[in-house]
């Protein structure tokens, strides 16, 4: 017994070790693939902007002798950024850092974003999987309008200006905080946010300088308020009374779902099904007919005589025949199903058990009085 327990323990440890190695290998492959995708994306962005800067310097150096670049397909869209270079690839490992920033927060651009550095805006859109956000009015770029947006009913300009995503590492939250020295409320830039769900707190500040060494209690940052969507009523809207009205009555003669859905839920050729396709039923009947003919030929014809059954086999065969006859007698016919469906539709909802129990003595008393 001890050897068996020891062997079982060894097998469990080996299985856990193999699973741990496989999980580690899959995570390593995922990180490598994600790194390669990010590298390819950054290289494509770098090549595009380097070529654009080279063209700009060449145009400035040549002056009136500079070649025309807005020709051919780029007559109206020259200078725009391709859409494939705007959005960063999402993380594949599912480990996304919570930066404590949500849609509707006020943020300040920091880091190497020279054009918009120091500007404050409101987070318009947040992509947690790619760890990027779009800030209203900041990091604006021009893109060529996609072809699927150009329709005859809604004409679009060839070039549009939109907000490009900013990495969350290059923005910092701006929140009002009470000055511990003057008592006035002023905006401060939060360098790090401590997220302790369902709340978030200020861990440290960037500016002003006197807030950095403040030993006051940690400040609670409220989450941005979500605006309730405004719905407008139109003449072609469906009324609520029409939606809540019960217009469909279930019946036992027709399935409440398409037959294809039933085939997906249960095996199409299961022996427990009572409703089959006509072709399948004909095939089965033909197989039974051929089987009976073969047995009849073997029993009464000139072929090989049928093997003799033992008394127990004969008894079991007789019981199967009787059981099959009882099952055929207990099958629900269409008339019975129609009657059950009419009764259900006439009575409507079923009475609770308490009401049914209270009604039973009354019915019995009435029946007794009528008998008297």
Question: Containing H/E element for 29?
Answer: helix 2-62
The DSSP element (H or E) to which 295 belongs, if any, is helix 278-300
C-beta separation of 172 from 189 below 8 A: yes
Q: Are the CB atoms for 133 and 171 separated by under 8 Å?
A: yes
147, 157, 152, 164: which is closest to 76 by C-alpha?
157
Tokens of 350: 């079923």
| pLDDT score, position 17 | 92
Phi-psi region of 79 (alpha: psi -120 to 50; beta: other; left: phi over 0): left
The pLDDT value given to residue 49: 84
Short-list 141, 145, 144, CA closest to 161:
141
**How confident is the model over 35-59, as pLDDT tens digits?**
888 888 888 888 888 888 888 888 8
Within 10 angstroms of residue 288's Cβ, the number of other Cβ atoms is 10
As a whole number of angstroms, the distance between CA 263 and CA 189 comes to 61
- Range 64-78 average pLDDT: 82
Nearest-angstrom CA–CA distance, 97 and 318: 72
pLDDT class of 356 with cuts at 50, 70, 90: very low
Amino acid 338: pLDDT: 81
Between residues 208 and 342, the one the model is more confident about: 342
CA 128 to CA 93: how far, in whole Å? 13
Please check the confidence at residue 209 and state whether its pLDDT lies above 70: no
Taking the C-alpha atoms of residue 213 and residue 342, their distance in angstroms, rounded to an integer, is 81
> pLDDT per residue over 152-181, tens digit each?
777 788 888 888 888 888 888 888 887 777
Say how far apart CA 360 and CA 372 lie, in whole Å: 19
Q: So what's the pLDDT on residue 192?
A: 81
For 112-133, write each residue's pLDDT tens digit.
767 888 889 999 988 888 888 9
Long-range contacts of 271-280 (CB under 8 A, 24+ apart): 274/331
pLDDT tens digits for 259-274?
A: 777 777 777 776 666 6
Question: What average pLDDT does the structure give for the chain?
Answer: 77
Grouping H, G, I as helix, E, B as strand and the rest as coil, residue 307 is coil
> What is the average per-residue pLDDT within 92-113?
81
Q: Are 126 and 223 in contact (CB under 8 A)?
A: no
- Is the pLDDT confidence value at 351 over 60? no
Nearest alpha carbon to residue 109 among 24, 62, 167: 167
Say if residues 52 and 114 touch (Cβ distance below 8 Å): no
Contact 142, 160 (CB under 8 A): yes
Phi-psi region of 139 (alpha: psi -120 to 50; beta: other; left: phi over 0): left
Per-residue pLDDT, 2: 72
88 pLDDT above the threshold of 70? yes
pLDDT per residue as tens digits for the range 280-338? 788 888 988 888 887 776 654 444 445 566 788 788 888 888 887 766 666 667 787 78
pLDDT of amino acid 337? 78
Contacting residues for 55 by C-beta, under 8 A, at least 6 apart: 69
| Nearest alpha carbon to residue 253 among 329, 336, 347, 330 | 336
Residue 10: both structure tokens together? 């060894």
């Amino acid at each position: 017994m001890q050897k068996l327990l020891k062997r079982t323990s060894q097998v469990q440890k080996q299985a856990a070790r193999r699973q741990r190695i496989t999980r580690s290998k899959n995570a390593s492959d995922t990180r490598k693939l994600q790194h390669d995708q990010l590298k390819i994306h950054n290289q494509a962005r770098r090549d595009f902007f380097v070529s654009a800067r080279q063209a700009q310097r060449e145009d400035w150096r040549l002056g009136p002798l500079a070649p025309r670049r807005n020709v051919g397909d780029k007559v109206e869209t020259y200078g725009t950024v391709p859409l494939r270079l705007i959005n960063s690839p999402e993380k594949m490992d599912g480990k996304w850092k919570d930066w404590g920033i949500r849609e509707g927060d006020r943020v300040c651009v920091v880091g190497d974003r020279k054009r918009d550095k120091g500007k404050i805006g409101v987070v318009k859109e947040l992509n947690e999987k790619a760890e990027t956000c779009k800030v209203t009015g900041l990091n604006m770029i021009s893109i060529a309008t996609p072809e699927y947006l150009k329709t005859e009913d809604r004409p679009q300009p060839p070039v549009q200006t939109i907000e490009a995503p900013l990495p969350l590492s290059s923005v910092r939250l701006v929140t009002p905080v009470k000055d511990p020295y003057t008592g006035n409320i002023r905006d401060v830039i939060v360098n790090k946010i401590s997220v302790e769900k369902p709340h978030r707190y200020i861990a440290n500040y960037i500016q002003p300088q006197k807030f950095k060494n403040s030993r006051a209690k940690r400040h609670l940052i409220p989450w941005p308020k979500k605006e309730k969507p405004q719905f407008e009523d139109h003449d072609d809207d469906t009324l609520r009374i029409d939606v809540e009205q019960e217009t469909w009555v279930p019946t036992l003669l027709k399935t409440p779902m398409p037959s294809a859905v039933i085939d997906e839920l249960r095996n199409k050729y299961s022996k427990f099904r009572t409703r089959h396709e006509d072709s399948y039923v004909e095939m089965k009947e033909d197989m039974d007919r051929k089987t009976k003919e073969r047995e009849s030929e073997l029993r009464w014809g000139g072929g090989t005589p049928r093997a003799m059954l033992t008394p127990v086999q004969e008894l079991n065969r007789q019981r199967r025949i009787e059981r099959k006859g009882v099952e055929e007698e207990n099958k629900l016919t269409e008339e019975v199903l129609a009657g059950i469906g009419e009764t259900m539709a006439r009575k409507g909802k079923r009475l609770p058990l308490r009401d049914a129990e209270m009604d039973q003595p009354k019915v019995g008393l009435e029946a007794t009085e009528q008998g008297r």
